[in-house]
Amino acid sequence: MTGQLLFSASLISPEVQAALPPGYKVRPLASDDYERGFLDTLAVLTEIGDISKAQFLERFNYLKQHNHEYFTIVILSPDDRVVGAGTIFVERKFIRNTGLVGHIEDIAVNKNQQGKKLGLRVIQTLKYIGANRGCYKVILDCSEKNVPFYEKCGFTRKEVEMAWYC
Ligand code: ACO
Q: How far is the CA of 115 from the centre of ligand 1 (A)?
A: 7
pLDDT in tens, 149-160: 999 999 999 999
**44-47, Cβ contacts within 8 angstroms, sequence gap of 24 or more:** 44/108, 44/109, 44/110, 44/111, 45/106, 45/107, 45/108
Give the closest residue to 119 by CA, choosing from 148, 156, 79, 80: 148
Report yes or no: 106 and 85 within 8 Å, Cβ to Cβ.
Answer: yes
Complex ipTM above 0.95? yes
pLDDT in tens, 11-29: 999 999 999 999 999 999 9
Give the closest residue to 110 by CA, choosing from 79, 140, 88, 139: 79
pLDDT in tens, 71-112: 999 999 999 999 999 999 999 999 999 999 999 999 999 999
Best probe residue, ligand 1, of 75, 87, 109 (max atoms within 8 Å of C-beta): 109
Q: CA dist 84 to 36, 137, 155, 157, Å?
A: 11, 23, 19, 24
Residue 68 binned pLDDT confidence (cut-offs 50, 70, 90)? very high
pLDDT in tens, 110-138: 999 999 999 999 999 999 999 999 999 99
49's CB contacts (< 8 A; 6+ apart) are none
Give the closest residue to 60 by CA, choosing from 31, 36, 27: 31
The C-alpha atoms of residue 127 and residue 153 are separated, in whole angstroms, by: 10
Strands 137-139 and 100-109, how do they pair? parallel
Q: CA dist 50 to 25, 92, 108, Å?
A: 27, 32, 18
The C-alpha atoms of residue 67 and residue 5 are separated, in whole angstroms, by: 10
Name which residue sits closest to atom 29 of ligand 1, judged by CA.
Answer: 119
Ligand 1 atom closest to the Cα of residue 146 is 7
pLDDT of residue 65: 98
The C-alpha atoms of residue 165 and residue 25 are separated, in whole angstroms, by: 36
Angle at 118 between CA 16 and CA 143, to 5 degrees: 120
Ligand 1 site residues (CB inside 6 A) read: 44-45, 104-109, 114-120, 140-142, 145-146, 148-149, 152
Backbone angles phi, psi at 46, to 5 degrees: -170, -175
